Chain A
Amino acid sequence: MKREFEIISELLPNNTRVLDIGCGDGTLINFLSKEKNIDVRGLELDEENVETCISKGLSVIEGDAETELGQFPDKSFDFVILSQTLQAFYNPVTVLEHLLRIGKSSIVSIPNFGYWKVRTSLLFFGRMPETRSLPYKWYDTPNLHMCTIKDFYELCNSRNISMKKIIGINNNKTSLIHNNNIKLKNLFSEVGIFLIS
Protein backbone atom coordinates (compact mmCIF):
# COMPACT_ATOMS: atom_id res chain seq x y z
CA MET A 1 0.00 0.00 0.00
CA LYS A 2 1.36 3.40 -0.91
CA ARG A 3 2.61 5.82 1.77
CA GLU A 4 -0.31 8.19 1.26
CA PHE A 5 -2.79 5.43 2.15
CA GLU A 6 -0.79 4.56 5.27
CA ILE A 7 -1.03 8.16 6.43
CA ILE A 8 -4.75 8.39 5.67
CA SER A 9 -5.26 5.13 7.54
CA GLU A 10 -3.42 6.52 10.57
CA LEU A 11 -5.76 9.51 10.59
CA LEU A 12 -8.81 7.24 10.89
CA PRO A 13 -9.94 5.83 14.24
CA ASN A 14 -11.09 2.20 14.39
CA ASN A 15 -14.78 1.24 14.11
CA THR A 16 -15.82 4.36 12.18
CA ARG A 17 -17.85 4.76 8.98
CA VAL A 18 -15.89 5.83 5.91
CA LEU A 19 -16.80 6.67 2.31
CA ASP A 20 -13.96 6.60 -0.22
CA ILE A 21 -14.75 8.62 -3.34
CA GLY A 22 -12.87 7.32 -6.34
CA CYS A 23 -11.79 4.26 -4.38
CA GLY A 24 -10.03 2.64 -7.36
CA ASP A 25 -9.45 -1.09 -6.90
CA GLY A 26 -10.36 -0.79 -3.21
CA THR A 27 -6.84 -1.18 -1.79
CA LEU A 28 -7.36 1.45 0.92
CA ILE A 29 -10.90 0.53 2.00
CA ASN A 30 -10.10 -3.17 1.97
CA PHE A 31 -7.24 -2.45 4.39
CA LEU A 32 -9.44 -0.20 6.56
CA SER A 33 -12.17 -2.82 6.69
CA LYS A 34 -9.88 -5.73 7.57
CA GLU A 35 -7.34 -4.02 9.85
CA LYS A 36 -9.36 -1.30 11.54
CA ASN A 37 -12.86 -2.74 11.49
CA ILE A 38 -14.05 0.35 9.65
CA ASP A 39 -17.44 0.20 7.94
CA VAL A 40 -16.41 1.17 4.43
CA ARG A 41 -18.21 2.21 1.27
CA GLY A 42 -16.81 3.31 -2.05
CA LEU A 43 -17.82 5.22 -5.14
CA GLU A 44 -15.91 4.47 -8.33
CA LEU A 45 -16.31 5.44 -11.96
CA ASP A 46 -14.33 2.64 -13.60
CA GLU A 47 -16.34 -0.50 -14.32
CA GLU A 48 -13.41 -2.90 -13.91
CA ASN A 49 -12.34 -1.35 -10.63
CA VAL A 50 -15.91 -1.77 -9.37
CA GLU A 51 -15.83 -5.45 -10.28
CA THR A 52 -12.51 -5.89 -8.49
CA CYS A 53 -13.94 -4.21 -5.37
CA ILE A 54 -17.06 -6.37 -5.40
CA SER A 55 -14.92 -9.50 -5.70
CA LYS A 56 -13.14 -8.37 -2.54
CA GLY A 57 -16.52 -8.17 -0.82
CA LEU A 58 -16.46 -4.37 -0.75
CA SER A 59 -19.66 -2.36 -1.08
CA VAL A 60 -18.73 -0.08 -3.93
CA ILE A 61 -21.15 1.84 -6.10
CA GLU A 62 -20.41 2.41 -9.76
CA GLY A 63 -20.99 6.08 -10.39
CA ASP A 64 -19.67 9.54 -11.12
CA ALA A 65 -18.83 11.65 -8.07
CA GLU A 66 -19.31 14.78 -10.17
CA THR A 67 -23.06 14.13 -10.40
CA GLU A 68 -23.97 11.43 -7.92
CA LEU A 69 -22.84 12.56 -4.49
CA GLY A 70 -26.30 13.99 -3.84
CA GLN A 71 -27.56 10.50 -2.99
CA PHE A 72 -25.59 10.35 0.27
CA PRO A 73 -27.43 11.91 3.22
CA ASP A 74 -25.94 14.69 5.37
CA LYS A 75 -23.37 13.58 7.93
CA SER A 76 -23.95 9.92 7.04
CA PHE A 77 -20.23 9.11 7.32
CA ASP A 78 -17.59 9.88 9.95
CA PHE A 79 -15.02 10.47 7.22
CA VAL A 80 -15.15 10.99 3.48
CA ILE A 81 -11.91 10.38 1.60
CA LEU A 82 -10.98 11.95 -1.72
CA SER A 83 -7.54 10.82 -2.76
CA GLN A 84 -5.83 12.80 -5.54
CA THR A 85 -9.04 13.24 -7.50
CA LEU A 86 -10.28 16.75 -6.69
CA GLN A 87 -8.30 18.20 -9.60
CA ALA A 88 -10.10 15.92 -12.09
CA PHE A 89 -13.60 17.36 -11.52
CA TYR A 90 -15.29 20.01 -13.64
CA ASN A 91 -16.53 21.64 -10.45
CA PRO A 92 -14.10 20.83 -7.65
CA VAL A 93 -15.74 23.26 -5.23
CA THR A 94 -19.16 21.63 -5.63
CA VAL A 95 -17.60 18.25 -4.95
CA LEU A 96 -15.78 19.68 -1.93
CA GLU A 97 -19.06 21.04 -0.57
CA HIS A 98 -20.65 17.59 -0.91
CA LEU A 99 -17.71 16.05 0.93
CA LEU A 100 -18.15 18.40 3.85
CA ARG A 101 -21.91 17.81 3.85
CA ILE A 102 -21.74 13.99 3.75
CA GLY A 103 -18.86 13.53 6.18
CA LYS A 104 -18.42 14.75 9.71
CA SER A 105 -14.81 15.17 8.57
CA SER A 106 -13.10 14.75 5.23
CA ILE A 107 -9.65 13.81 4.07
CA VAL A 108 -8.57 15.37 0.79
CA SER A 109 -5.21 14.69 -0.79
CA ILE A 110 -3.85 16.66 -3.72
CA PRO A 111 -0.91 16.13 -6.07
CA ASN A 112 1.03 19.34 -5.40
CA PHE A 113 1.58 21.49 -8.49
CA GLY A 114 3.90 23.62 -6.35
CA TYR A 115 6.38 20.75 -5.90
CA TRP A 116 9.88 21.83 -6.95
CA LYS A 117 10.21 19.21 -9.68
CA VAL A 118 7.00 20.49 -11.24
CA ARG A 119 8.23 24.07 -11.01
CA THR A 120 11.64 23.33 -12.51
CA SER A 121 10.14 21.39 -15.39
CA LEU A 122 8.30 24.49 -16.48
CA LEU A 123 11.03 26.93 -15.46
CA PHE A 124 14.08 25.26 -16.99
CA PHE A 125 12.69 23.09 -19.73
CA GLY A 126 9.61 25.09 -20.67
CA ARG A 127 7.60 21.87 -20.75
CA MET A 128 4.42 20.81 -18.95
CA PRO A 129 5.56 18.76 -15.96
CA GLU A 130 5.48 14.96 -15.83
CA THR A 131 6.26 13.52 -12.42
CA ARG A 132 5.49 10.43 -10.36
CA SER A 133 2.22 11.90 -9.10
CA LEU A 134 1.49 13.73 -12.36
CA PRO A 135 2.40 11.15 -14.99
CA TYR A 136 0.24 12.46 -17.87
CA LYS A 137 0.92 14.24 -21.15
CA TRP A 138 -0.70 17.66 -21.28
CA TYR A 139 -3.10 16.57 -24.05
CA ASP A 140 -4.14 13.37 -22.32
CA THR A 141 -4.62 14.22 -18.68
CA PRO A 142 -7.69 13.76 -16.48
CA ASN A 143 -6.44 16.68 -14.38
CA LEU A 144 -8.50 19.74 -15.24
CA HIS A 145 -7.90 21.89 -12.17
CA MET A 146 -4.38 21.51 -10.89
CA CYS A 147 -3.54 23.35 -7.69
CA THR A 148 -0.76 23.69 -5.16
CA ILE A 149 -0.85 22.94 -1.45
CA LYS A 150 -0.97 26.67 -0.87
CA ASP A 151 -3.84 27.14 -3.32
CA PHE A 152 -5.93 24.54 -1.55
CA TYR A 153 -4.97 26.03 1.81
CA GLU A 154 -6.20 29.43 0.63
CA LEU A 155 -9.40 27.94 -0.76
CA CYS A 156 -10.17 26.36 2.62
CA ASN A 157 -9.44 29.64 4.36
CA SER A 158 -11.65 31.65 2.04
CA ARG A 159 -14.58 29.27 2.56
CA ASN A 160 -14.12 28.98 6.32
CA ILE A 161 -13.28 25.31 6.05
CA SER A 162 -11.51 24.21 9.19
CA MET A 163 -8.18 22.48 8.53
CA LYS A 164 -7.42 20.17 11.47
CA LYS A 165 -4.24 18.70 10.08
CA ILE A 166 -2.16 19.10 6.92
CA ILE A 167 0.51 16.57 6.08
CA GLY A 168 3.05 16.80 3.28
CA ILE A 169 4.73 13.78 1.69
CA ASN A 170 8.16 13.93 0.09
CA ASN A 171 10.01 10.73 -0.84
CA ASN A 172 7.81 8.76 1.58
CA LYS A 173 8.78 11.09 4.42
CA THR A 174 6.01 13.04 6.06
CA SER A 175 5.88 16.40 7.77
CA LEU A 176 3.20 18.54 9.34
CA ILE A 177 2.30 21.68 7.45
CA HIS A 178 1.07 24.85 9.15
CA ASN A 179 0.82 28.55 8.51
CA ASN A 180 4.50 29.18 9.33
CA ASN A 181 6.11 26.60 7.07
CA ILE A 182 3.67 26.38 4.20
CA LYS A 183 5.88 28.32 1.74
CA LEU A 184 8.69 25.82 2.14
CA LYS A 185 6.49 22.73 2.38
CA ASN A 186 4.66 23.83 -0.73
CA LEU A 187 7.99 23.57 -2.53
CA PHE A 188 9.13 20.25 -1.08
CA SER A 189 5.93 18.18 -0.80
CA GLU A 190 4.87 15.97 -3.67
CA VAL A 191 1.46 15.34 -2.15
CA GLY A 192 -0.56 17.23 0.46
CA ILE A 193 -3.10 15.55 2.74
CA PHE A 194 -5.74 17.76 4.38
CA LEU A 195 -7.99 16.70 7.25
CA ILE A 196 -10.87 19.17 7.05
CA SER A 197 -14.38 19.70 8.35
Chain B
Amino acid sequence: MNLKIKNIKQLIVKKPLKLDCGQTIKDFPLAYETYGKLNVKKNNAVLVFHALTGDQFASGINPITKREGWWDTAIGSGKAIDTDKYFVICANVLGGCMGSFGPKEINKVSNEPYGLNFPVITIKDMVKAQEALLNHFEIKKLLCALGGSMGGMQLLQFCASFPDRTFSAIPIACSSSHSPQNIALNELARQAIMADPERSKGNYGKTDKLPKNGLAVARMAGHISYLSESGLQEKFGRKLQEKADYEFSFDADFQVESYLRHQGYSFVDRFDANSYLYITRAMDYFDLSKQYKNGLTEAFTGQKTKFLVISFSSDWLYPTKHSKDIVIALNASGANVAFAEIKTDKGHDSFLVKEPKFLTTIKSFIDSSYEVFKK
Protein backbone atom coordinates (compact mmCIF):
# COMPACT_ATOMS: atom_id res chain seq x y z
CA MET B 1 0.00 0.00 0.00
CA ASN B 2 1.12 3.54 -0.59
CA LEU B 3 -1.41 5.58 1.36
CA LYS B 4 -0.27 7.91 4.10
CA ILE B 5 -1.95 7.12 7.40
CA LYS B 6 -2.41 10.37 9.27
CA ASN B 7 -4.96 12.15 11.47
CA ILE B 8 -6.34 8.91 12.86
CA LYS B 9 -7.31 7.97 16.41
CA GLN B 10 -4.72 5.79 18.13
CA LEU B 11 -4.51 4.36 21.61
CA ILE B 12 -1.00 3.61 22.80
CA VAL B 13 -1.39 0.38 24.74
CA LYS B 14 1.08 0.75 27.60
CA LYS B 15 0.34 -2.49 29.42
CA PRO B 16 2.64 -5.31 28.25
CA LEU B 17 0.84 -7.90 26.14
CA LYS B 18 2.24 -11.42 26.12
CA LEU B 19 1.61 -12.83 22.68
CA ASP B 20 0.79 -16.50 22.06
CA CYS B 21 4.12 -16.87 20.23
CA GLY B 22 5.95 -16.02 23.46
CA GLN B 23 7.07 -12.48 22.70
CA THR B 24 5.83 -9.55 24.78
CA ILE B 25 4.90 -6.23 23.24
CA LYS B 26 4.13 -2.95 24.99
CA ASP B 27 3.60 0.74 24.18
CA PHE B 28 2.17 -0.25 20.83
CA PRO B 29 -0.42 1.71 18.82
CA LEU B 30 -3.98 0.49 18.33
CA ALA B 31 -5.86 2.52 15.73
CA TYR B 32 -9.59 2.87 16.20
CA GLU B 33 -12.63 4.84 15.17
CA THR B 34 -15.91 5.53 16.95
CA TYR B 35 -19.38 6.46 15.75
CA GLY B 36 -22.24 7.89 17.81
CA LYS B 37 -22.05 8.98 21.44
CA LEU B 38 -21.31 7.01 24.59
CA ASN B 39 -24.14 7.75 27.03
CA VAL B 40 -23.64 8.69 30.69
CA LYS B 41 -24.41 5.17 31.95
CA LYS B 42 -21.99 3.76 29.36
CA ASN B 43 -24.45 1.04 28.48
CA ASN B 44 -24.91 1.75 24.78
CA ALA B 45 -21.51 0.64 23.48
CA VAL B 46 -21.19 -1.73 20.55
CA LEU B 47 -17.84 -3.24 19.59
CA VAL B 48 -17.39 -4.27 15.97
CA PHE B 49 -14.60 -6.64 14.95
CA HIS B 50 -13.45 -6.37 11.36
CA ALA B 51 -12.63 -9.16 8.93
CA LEU B 52 -9.36 -9.98 7.13
CA THR B 53 -9.15 -6.92 4.89
CA GLY B 54 -11.20 -4.50 6.98
CA ASP B 55 -10.05 -1.66 9.17
CA GLN B 56 -11.37 0.68 11.85
CA PHE B 57 -13.31 2.81 9.36
CA ALA B 58 -16.51 0.79 9.40
CA SER B 59 -19.02 3.53 8.66
CA GLY B 60 -19.19 6.66 6.51
CA ILE B 61 -16.30 7.50 4.22
CA ASN B 62 -12.91 6.07 5.05
CA PRO B 63 -10.74 9.23 5.37
CA ILE B 64 -7.61 7.41 4.20
CA THR B 65 -8.92 5.52 1.18
CA LYS B 66 -11.77 8.00 0.47
CA ARG B 67 -14.01 5.00 -0.14
CA GLU B 68 -17.13 3.89 1.68
CA GLY B 69 -16.48 2.27 5.05
CA TRP B 70 -16.58 -1.54 4.89
CA TRP B 71 -19.79 -1.84 6.95
CA ASP B 72 -21.54 1.37 5.97
CA THR B 73 -24.53 -0.78 4.96
CA ALA B 74 -25.05 -1.74 8.62
CA ILE B 75 -23.66 1.11 10.73
CA GLY B 76 -24.92 4.68 10.70
CA SER B 77 -27.76 7.01 11.58
CA GLY B 78 -31.03 5.05 11.41
CA LYS B 79 -29.28 1.92 10.14
CA ALA B 80 -29.25 -1.60 11.66
CA ILE B 81 -26.57 -0.56 14.13
CA ASP B 82 -28.03 2.85 14.77
CA THR B 83 -25.40 5.45 15.65
CA ASP B 84 -28.16 7.80 16.88
CA LYS B 85 -28.67 5.32 19.73
CA TYR B 86 -25.44 3.43 20.09
CA PHE B 87 -21.76 4.18 20.50
CA VAL B 88 -19.91 2.05 17.99
CA ILE B 89 -16.22 1.24 18.39
CA CYS B 90 -14.09 -0.46 15.79
CA ALA B 91 -10.33 -1.04 16.03
CA ASN B 92 -7.82 -1.97 13.38
CA VAL B 93 -6.51 -5.41 14.37
CA LEU B 94 -3.03 -6.09 15.63
CA GLY B 95 -0.99 -6.96 12.54
CA GLY B 96 -3.13 -4.64 10.41
CA CYS B 97 -1.97 -1.77 8.25
CA MET B 98 -4.28 1.14 9.05
CA GLY B 99 -2.38 2.52 12.02
CA SER B 100 -2.32 -0.40 14.45
CA PHE B 101 0.87 -2.20 15.37
CA GLY B 102 1.71 -4.28 12.30
CA PRO B 103 4.58 -5.34 10.05
CA LYS B 104 4.54 -1.95 8.29
CA GLU B 105 5.42 -0.14 11.54
CA ILE B 106 8.95 1.14 12.01
CA ASN B 107 11.07 -0.91 14.36
CA LYS B 108 12.63 1.71 16.63
CA VAL B 109 15.77 -0.39 17.08
CA SER B 110 16.60 -0.87 13.39
CA ASN B 111 14.70 2.20 12.17
CA GLU B 112 13.24 0.06 9.40
CA PRO B 113 9.80 -1.50 8.94
CA TYR B 114 9.39 -4.72 10.90
CA GLY B 115 8.54 -6.71 7.79
CA LEU B 116 8.85 -10.39 8.58
CA ASN B 117 10.55 -9.59 11.89
CA PHE B 118 7.11 -8.76 13.18
CA PRO B 119 5.97 -11.44 15.65
CA VAL B 120 3.41 -13.97 14.46
CA ILE B 121 0.14 -12.96 16.06
CA THR B 122 -3.07 -14.84 16.81
CA ILE B 123 -6.77 -14.04 17.03
CA LYS B 124 -6.41 -14.17 20.81
CA ASP B 125 -3.63 -11.55 20.68
CA MET B 126 -5.85 -9.29 18.56
CA VAL B 127 -8.69 -9.62 21.05
CA LYS B 128 -6.53 -8.99 24.10
CA ALA B 129 -5.23 -5.80 22.49
CA GLN B 130 -8.76 -4.57 21.84
CA GLU B 131 -9.81 -5.14 25.42
CA ALA B 132 -7.49 -2.24 26.25
CA LEU B 133 -9.82 -0.04 24.25
CA LEU B 134 -12.77 -0.88 26.48
CA ASN B 135 -10.69 0.01 29.51
CA HIS B 136 -9.70 3.25 27.80
CA PHE B 137 -13.37 4.21 27.44
CA GLU B 138 -14.13 2.82 30.92
CA ILE B 139 -16.80 0.54 29.48
CA LYS B 140 -17.40 -2.32 31.91
CA LYS B 141 -19.86 -4.17 29.74
CA LEU B 142 -20.71 -3.70 26.10
CA LEU B 143 -24.31 -3.79 24.95
CA CYS B 144 -23.25 -5.89 22.00
CA ALA B 145 -20.14 -7.17 20.27
CA LEU B 146 -20.36 -8.43 16.72
CA GLY B 147 -18.37 -9.34 13.68
CA GLY B 148 -18.42 -11.39 10.50
CA SER B 149 -15.84 -13.85 9.17
CA MET B 150 -12.56 -13.21 11.02
CA GLY B 151 -14.52 -10.61 12.98
CA GLY B 152 -16.76 -13.41 14.19
CA MET B 153 -13.75 -15.48 15.20
CA GLN B 154 -12.40 -12.55 17.22
CA LEU B 155 -15.82 -12.26 18.82
CA LEU B 156 -15.92 -15.93 19.86
CA GLN B 157 -12.46 -15.55 21.37
CA PHE B 158 -13.52 -12.33 23.07
CA CYS B 159 -16.55 -14.02 24.66
CA ALA B 160 -14.45 -16.97 25.81
CA SER B 161 -11.59 -14.85 27.17
CA PHE B 162 -13.71 -12.06 28.67
CA PRO B 163 -17.08 -13.65 29.49
CA ASP B 164 -18.41 -10.63 31.42
CA ARG B 165 -17.54 -7.90 28.95
CA THR B 166 -20.57 -8.02 26.67
CA PHE B 167 -24.31 -8.41 27.23
CA SER B 168 -24.96 -9.80 23.76
CA ALA B 169 -22.95 -11.13 20.84
CA ILE B 170 -23.56 -11.77 17.13
CA PRO B 171 -21.03 -14.11 15.50
CA ILE B 172 -21.71 -13.94 11.77
CA ALA B 173 -20.56 -16.31 9.01
CA CYS B 174 -17.63 -17.61 10.98
CA SER B 175 -16.11 -20.68 12.51
CA SER B 176 -14.76 -21.72 15.89
CA SER B 177 -11.96 -23.55 14.16
CA HIS B 178 -10.45 -22.69 10.79
CA SER B 179 -11.18 -25.57 8.43
CA PRO B 180 -8.62 -27.20 6.10
CA GLN B 181 -10.42 -25.59 3.16
CA ASN B 182 -10.06 -22.17 4.82
CA ILE B 183 -6.37 -22.82 5.51
CA ALA B 184 -5.81 -24.05 1.95
CA LEU B 185 -7.32 -20.90 0.45
CA ASN B 186 -5.23 -18.72 2.76
CA GLU B 187 -2.12 -20.66 1.80
CA LEU B 188 -2.93 -20.09 -1.87
CA ALA B 189 -3.07 -16.35 -1.14
CA ARG B 190 0.18 -16.38 0.82
CA GLN B 191 2.00 -18.34 -1.87
CA ALA B 192 0.82 -15.83 -4.47
CA ILE B 193 2.36 -13.03 -2.41
CA MET B 194 5.55 -14.95 -1.75
CA ALA B 195 5.96 -15.79 -5.44
CA ASP B 196 6.12 -12.10 -6.34
CA PRO B 197 9.76 -11.21 -7.16
CA GLU B 198 9.20 -7.67 -5.89
CA ARG B 199 8.61 -8.98 -2.40
CA SER B 200 12.31 -8.94 -1.37
CA LYS B 201 11.61 -11.66 1.19
CA GLY B 202 9.19 -9.44 3.02
CA ASN B 203 11.58 -6.49 3.37
CA TYR B 204 10.07 -4.56 0.49
CA GLY B 205 9.50 -1.55 2.74
CA LYS B 206 13.07 -0.36 2.22
CA THR B 207 12.67 0.31 -1.50
CA ASP B 208 9.83 1.57 -3.64
CA LYS B 209 9.16 -1.92 -4.94
CA LEU B 210 5.98 -3.59 -3.70
CA PRO B 211 4.65 -7.14 -4.29
CA LYS B 212 1.58 -5.71 -6.02
CA ASN B 213 0.93 -8.59 -8.40
CA GLY B 214 1.18 -11.20 -5.69
CA LEU B 215 -1.15 -9.32 -3.37
CA ALA B 216 -3.63 -8.69 -6.20
CA VAL B 217 -3.75 -12.42 -7.03
CA ALA B 218 -4.20 -13.19 -3.33
CA ARG B 219 -7.12 -10.80 -3.21
CA MET B 220 -8.66 -12.26 -6.36
CA ALA B 221 -8.52 -15.76 -4.90
CA GLY B 222 -10.07 -14.47 -1.71
CA HIS B 223 -12.75 -12.61 -3.58
CA ILE B 224 -13.92 -15.72 -5.45
CA SER B 225 -14.34 -17.48 -2.11
CA TYR B 226 -16.53 -14.65 -0.82
CA LEU B 227 -19.09 -15.11 -3.61
CA SER B 228 -21.31 -18.00 -4.62
CA GLU B 229 -21.66 -19.88 -7.89
CA SER B 230 -25.24 -18.68 -8.36
CA GLY B 231 -24.27 -15.15 -7.34
CA LEU B 232 -21.52 -15.06 -9.99
CA GLN B 233 -23.89 -16.54 -12.55
CA GLU B 234 -26.47 -13.87 -11.87
CA LYS B 235 -24.05 -10.96 -11.73
CA PHE B 236 -21.84 -11.82 -14.70
CA GLY B 237 -22.98 -14.93 -16.50
CA ARG B 238 -20.66 -15.33 -19.49
CA LYS B 239 -21.03 -11.68 -20.46
CA LEU B 240 -18.10 -10.15 -22.30
CA GLN B 241 -16.35 -6.99 -21.17
CA GLU B 242 -17.10 -4.16 -23.61
CA LYS B 243 -16.61 -6.33 -26.67
CA ALA B 244 -18.77 -8.20 -29.13
CA ASP B 245 -16.77 -11.41 -29.35
CA TYR B 246 -13.74 -13.24 -27.98
CA GLU B 247 -10.43 -11.60 -28.77
CA PHE B 248 -8.52 -14.86 -28.76
CA SER B 249 -6.03 -13.46 -26.27
CA PHE B 250 -5.46 -13.48 -22.53
CA ASP B 251 -6.89 -10.05 -21.92
CA ALA B 252 -9.96 -9.80 -19.74
CA ASP B 253 -12.57 -10.93 -22.27
CA PHE B 254 -15.15 -11.82 -19.66
CA GLN B 255 -16.76 -9.36 -17.28
CA VAL B 256 -15.95 -11.62 -14.37
CA GLU B 257 -12.24 -11.44 -15.25
CA SER B 258 -12.33 -7.68 -15.48
CA TYR B 259 -14.15 -7.52 -12.15
CA LEU B 260 -11.58 -9.73 -10.46
CA ARG B 261 -8.67 -7.74 -11.84
CA HIS B 262 -10.27 -4.55 -10.60
CA GLN B 263 -10.83 -6.05 -7.16
CA GLY B 264 -7.25 -7.30 -7.03
CA TYR B 265 -5.43 -4.20 -8.20
CA SER B 266 -7.54 -1.67 -6.32
CA PHE B 267 -6.81 -3.64 -3.16
CA VAL B 268 -3.04 -3.22 -3.32
CA ASP B 269 -3.35 0.53 -2.86
CA ARG B 270 -4.92 0.14 0.54
CA PHE B 271 -3.44 -3.02 1.96
CA ASP B 272 -0.01 -4.21 3.00
CA ALA B 273 1.15 -7.59 1.68
CA ASN B 274 2.91 -8.53 4.92
CA SER B 275 -0.24 -7.72 6.90
CA TYR B 276 -2.07 -10.13 4.60
CA LEU B 277 0.43 -12.86 5.48
CA TYR B 278 0.22 -12.22 9.21
CA ILE B 279 -3.53 -11.89 9.45
CA THR B 280 -4.28 -14.98 7.35
CA ARG B 281 -1.84 -16.89 9.56
CA ALA B 282 -3.70 -15.73 12.66
CA MET B 283 -6.93 -17.02 11.12
CA ASP B 284 -5.39 -20.39 10.31
CA TYR B 285 -4.12 -20.84 13.85
CA PHE B 286 -7.57 -20.14 15.24
CA ASP B 287 -9.08 -23.19 16.92
CA LEU B 288 -10.98 -22.15 20.01
CA SER B 289 -11.64 -25.72 21.11
CA LYS B 290 -7.89 -26.38 21.27
CA GLN B 291 -7.55 -23.82 24.05
CA TYR B 292 -9.75 -25.82 26.41
CA LYS B 293 -9.30 -29.32 27.73
CA ASN B 294 -12.94 -30.25 27.15
CA GLY B 295 -13.25 -28.48 23.83
CA LEU B 296 -15.60 -25.82 22.64
CA THR B 297 -18.31 -26.48 25.23
CA GLU B 298 -15.87 -25.57 27.99
CA ALA B 299 -14.96 -22.37 26.14
CA PHE B 300 -18.53 -21.17 26.63
CA THR B 301 -19.32 -22.65 30.03
CA GLY B 302 -20.79 -20.13 32.41
CA GLN B 303 -21.59 -17.66 29.62
CA LYS B 304 -24.22 -15.08 30.55
CA THR B 305 -23.95 -13.47 27.14
CA LYS B 306 -26.98 -13.62 24.85
CA PHE B 307 -25.87 -14.98 21.47
CA LEU B 308 -27.33 -14.66 18.00
CA VAL B 309 -25.42 -16.85 15.55
CA ILE B 310 -26.00 -16.07 11.87
CA SER B 311 -24.99 -17.96 8.74
CA PHE B 312 -25.77 -17.52 5.04
CA SER B 313 -27.19 -20.34 2.94
CA SER B 314 -24.82 -19.80 -0.01
CA ASP B 315 -21.64 -19.24 2.02
CA TRP B 316 -19.25 -22.06 1.15
CA LEU B 317 -16.23 -20.48 2.87
CA TYR B 318 -17.83 -20.55 6.32
CA PRO B 319 -20.85 -22.77 5.67
CA THR B 320 -23.89 -23.07 7.93
CA LYS B 321 -22.43 -26.28 9.37
CA HIS B 322 -19.65 -24.23 11.04
CA SER B 323 -22.21 -21.91 12.63
CA LYS B 324 -24.31 -24.86 13.77
CA ASP B 325 -21.27 -26.35 15.50
CA ILE B 326 -20.99 -23.11 17.46
CA VAL B 327 -24.70 -23.25 18.31
CA ILE B 328 -24.39 -26.87 19.46
CA ALA B 329 -21.46 -26.02 21.73
CA LEU B 330 -23.29 -23.00 23.15
CA ASN B 331 -26.37 -25.14 23.77
CA ALA B 332 -24.33 -27.88 25.38
CA SER B 333 -22.81 -25.34 27.75
CA GLY B 334 -26.26 -24.02 28.64
CA ALA B 335 -25.69 -20.62 27.06
CA ASN B 336 -28.46 -18.40 25.73
CA VAL B 337 -28.38 -18.73 21.96
CA ALA B 338 -30.51 -17.92 18.94
CA PHE B 339 -29.61 -18.99 15.43
CA ALA B 340 -30.75 -17.92 11.98
CA GLU B 341 -29.62 -19.00 8.53
CA ILE B 342 -30.29 -16.20 6.06
CA LYS B 343 -31.35 -17.53 2.64
CA THR B 344 -29.38 -15.62 0.02
CA ASP B 345 -27.23 -16.25 -3.04
CA LYS B 346 -24.68 -13.57 -2.12
CA GLY B 347 -22.25 -16.02 -0.51
CA HIS B 348 -19.88 -15.23 2.33
CA ASP B 349 -19.99 -11.52 1.47
CA SER B 350 -23.70 -11.38 2.39
CA PHE B 351 -22.98 -9.62 5.66
CA LEU B 352 -21.23 -6.75 3.87
CA VAL B 353 -23.89 -6.04 1.25
CA LYS B 354 -27.45 -4.79 1.51
CA GLU B 355 -29.19 -7.99 2.58
CA PRO B 356 -32.46 -6.75 4.11
CA LYS B 357 -33.33 -9.88 6.09
CA PHE B 358 -29.90 -9.98 7.65
CA LEU B 359 -29.94 -6.29 8.53
CA THR B 360 -33.43 -6.39 10.08
CA THR B 361 -32.48 -9.47 12.10
CA ILE B 362 -29.39 -7.88 13.67
CA LYS B 363 -31.24 -4.62 14.19
CA SER B 364 -34.12 -6.25 16.07
CA PHE B 365 -31.70 -8.34 18.13
CA ILE B 366 -29.57 -5.36 19.19
CA ASP B 367 -32.61 -3.16 19.85
CA SER B 368 -34.37 -5.81 21.95
CA SER B 369 -31.12 -6.52 23.83
CA TYR B 370 -30.80 -2.81 24.62
CA GLU B 371 -34.34 -2.73 26.06
CA VAL B 372 -33.30 -5.41 28.58
CA PHE B 373 -29.73 -4.25 29.17
CA LYS B 374 -30.52 -0.59 29.89
CA LYS B 375 -32.89 -1.50 32.76
Binding site for B on A (CB under 8 A): 41, 47, 50-51, 53-63, 68, 71-73, 76
Contacts and interface: CB of A to CB of B under 8 A. Distances in A.
A130 B277 CA distance: 64
Contacts of B245: none
B71 interface: no
Contacts of A60: 338-339
A54 B327 contact: no
A77 B24 CA distance: 45
Given A51-B357, A51-B361, A71-B331, A59 B336 contact: yes
B343 interface: yes
B262 to A, nearest CB: 34
Interface in B329-354: 331-332, 334, 336-341, 343
Interface residues of B, number: 25
A58 B365 CA distance: 9
B306 interface: yes
B194 interface: no
Contacts of B307: 59
B106 interface: no
A135 B68 CA distance: 52
Interface stretch (B86-94, B146-154, B284-292, B366-374): B366-374
A57 B308 CA distance: 10
Contacts of A57: 365, 368-369, 371-372
Contacts of B360: 51, 55
Contacts of B357: 51
Contact of A47 (B308, B331, B341, B369): B341
A59 B338 contact: yes
Given A47-B340, A47-B341, A62-B340, A71 B328 contact: yes
Nearest to A56: B368
A68 B339 CA distance: 13
A37 B364 CA distance: 21
A183 to B, nearest CB: 42
Nearest to B371: A57
A41 B337 CA distance: 8
Q: Which 8 A-B pairs have the closest CB atoms?
A: A57-B368, A55-B364, A71-B328, A61-B339, A59-B338, A59-B336, A62-B340, A71-B331
Which of A58, A62, A72, A73 gathers the greatest number of chain B CB atoms within 10 Å? Answer: A62
B338 to A, nearest CB: 4
A55 B368 contact: yes
Interface string B303-333: 0001110000000000000001001100110
Contacts of A55: 360-361, 364-365, 368
A54 B361 contact: yes
Given A50-B340, A71-B331, 12 more contacts: A41-B336, A50-B339, A54-B308, A54-B361, A54-B368, A59-B306, A59-B337, A60-B339, A61-B338, A71-B332, A72-B331, A73-B332
8 contacts: A47-B340, A47-B343, A50-B338, A51-B364, A59-B307, A61-B338, A62-B341, A68-B324
A62 B338 CA distance: 8
A68 B365 CA distance: 23
A54 B331 contact: no
A54 B328 contact: no
Which of A47, A50, A55, A57 gathers the greatest number of chain B CB atoms within 10 Å? Answer: A57
A71 B340 contact: no
A20 B338 CA distance: 13
A53 B331 contact: no
B337 to A, nearest CB: 6
A61 B337 contact: yes
Which of B336, B337, B338, B361 gathers the greatest number of chain A CB atoms within 10 Å? Answer: B338
Nearest to B328: A71
